[in-house]
Structures are given as C-alpha cells and as structure tokens.
Structure 1
Amino acid sequence: MTTTRTLYLIACAAPPARRLPTPIRAAQAAGWDVCLILTPSAHRWASEDATGEIAALEQLTGHPVRWQYKLPSQPDVLPSPDAILVAPLTANTLNKWAAGISDTLALGLITEGIGLGLPIVALPHWNDAQGRHPAVPRNVETLRDAGVTLLLGNGGFVPHQPRQGDLDAYPWQAAIDALPA
C-alpha cells in the first residue's frame, strides 16, 4: 500500500522563484505530491512571463497554482498538506510570519501550519544587508522556537552581498533533504 504525502511548496518573490521546477521535481522524486502556492508578488512575476509559466507549473504539479484566498463558498482545490516547504523565503515574509500576520494565502497557510503542528522547512533568500536588520535574526529565532526548520547558514542558505547572488547556487536539495522522510 502506497501512501501519498502532500507537500505545499510556498514560494516568495525572490530570484530562486524563477527555478521552481527544480524543487518540484526533486520533491516528486522523493515521493511528494507537490502543490504550489505563491505570494502575490511571486504570482505577478510568474504571470508576466509570456511563456505560460503558471500553466507549465500547473501541468508539472497536476494542481492549480494558488496565490490568493478562495471565497468561503468555493471548494478547496488542493489536498491538505502533510508538510510545508517555504522556499524561497524572503525577509519580508519571514518578518510577517513571525509576527503572525496572515494577509495573504501563503502567510495564512504557514502561520496556521505552525498551530497545526505540521513539519515546516524554510529556506531563505535575502542579501546580507537585509539579514543585518535587527528584526531578521530575532524572527529567525522566533520561528525556530516555534518548530520551523529554518535553513540559514551552514548547510542552508548563506546570504550574499546585495546584487551579488548566484541563482544557480541556491540549495534547493538541502530543503528537500530536510523534509520528513
């Protein structure tokens, strides 16, 4: 008997969001049914792509790409998650998440995920100047204390100088490996 595990991949508007097929395929290879949820800005990035990026991501996952709350009268179109991966996680979303703000679908799912006790892995992407803001280290610790596996530093994402990031060096596989087996 095979049990299907559902992973919500929640992506923020940071450069690695341009490479979402990479973690989707890696998670699928690890046995996950992947559902993609984008922040509104990440959705705007994908929607302005004339090559049909949203449709391609929906075909790859087999699910609609969600980015906004549904109406109360609308049915859920995604299965419930068994785990959540937030990648790339921006400093903006980190700070809102740690404060319990859920003004977008992505934030609502991850704030609720903590309360539901879901396994949550987060792989940041920000530059070292953003990381030096006093709220960032404080909020990293808040989320870690809440049980989030936040992959920042050795073995995860290491911030770079502003406008000096290497998109192809983003450690997607570290995030997939950190998910529950």
Structure 2
Amino acid sequence: MKNLYLKIIDKFNRIETIERFTEKGLPYIKTIDLYAGQDYNESAFEAHLFPALFVKWSIDYLQNPPSALLTFRVCWEQLRDTSSLNETPEEALRFMDFINLVDEVLKEIETEHTSKFTLLSEELNIEDTITDTHSLNYRCSYTGKSKIAKTNYQAGAIDEVQQEGTIFTTVDVIS
C-alpha cells in the first residue's frame, strides 16, 4: 500500500494534473495525507492547506485476489451559499465539478500491486467537521501480500516406487 500511497501523491502533484484543475477554474489538491480524523480536530494536526485529500483503506484477504476498499475524504472550504436563494448556484456548486475531477484522476491510478479503482459509493458528509467533506469509496484488487505463509516445502507426487533388496529378520531361540 506504500507504493499506492506514493503514487497518489505523485499523481496529484504532477503539473499535468494541477493544470487539469486550473484550466477549469477549480482549485487543485494541496494536501494529501493518511486519514487520522484531520477534518474533525484541526488543532491536533499541523496546518493543512485546502483542498485536501485524506486516504484510508482496508484489505480483504479472503477474496481471491484480495480486495482493497479505499476511502478518500475530499475536504474543501465552501465559501458560497448553496441554497436555492443564491442567485448564482452554478458558482456555489462548483465543488461538484471539483469532486468529479478528483474522481477522474483517482480512477487513472494503478500500481504493480493494485488494479484501477472501481467507484462503489460517494457521500456528502454532513458531520460536524471543520471543513466540508465528501467521501469517495473505491475497490481495487491487491496483490501486495498473501494470506498464506510462505514455506520452503515443495508439493509433488511420487509416480513409481521400486523396491530392491532382501529383508532379514532375526529369530530368538529359547533353550
């Protein structure tokens, strides 16, 4: 998962990716981190620049191949009114365009141990967070670890056994 995490950072820090956001007048991802509740307790973490992308995962080794569930918490500062009373709802709802572009970029990522991501669900989080948060949930195959311990034994079969020689036995004589 280390390779995947580094690939995510690399992908969002590339000039081409940043330009995809700026060409559409959207902010680009400025902070990427492993998820540790940063959107709930700002004072417990170093300052984050928004928008931010926080990553967490779980891996199910009972599936064949193993499957990783990835959750990306996309955080941004919503400074516009999204209510029906707003006279320019298009501007207030540009965060939806931002989320769609984040999704497009994430779906392009794969590593030697992970397949491309399949979007399972997304959610506009209404929790009491310090910033607006949207969750994107994906699944991908994962081959970075095996659920079975490696051994030095090799499996095989013996096709034919030939026996040669004589078996001797001793007999005790009682007198």
- Determine if the TM-score, normalized by the shorter chain, exceeds 0.5: no
Q: Which has the larger radius of gyration?
A: 2
Instruction: Give the structure-2-normalised TM-score.
Output: 0.28
TM-score by length of structure 1 reads 0.28
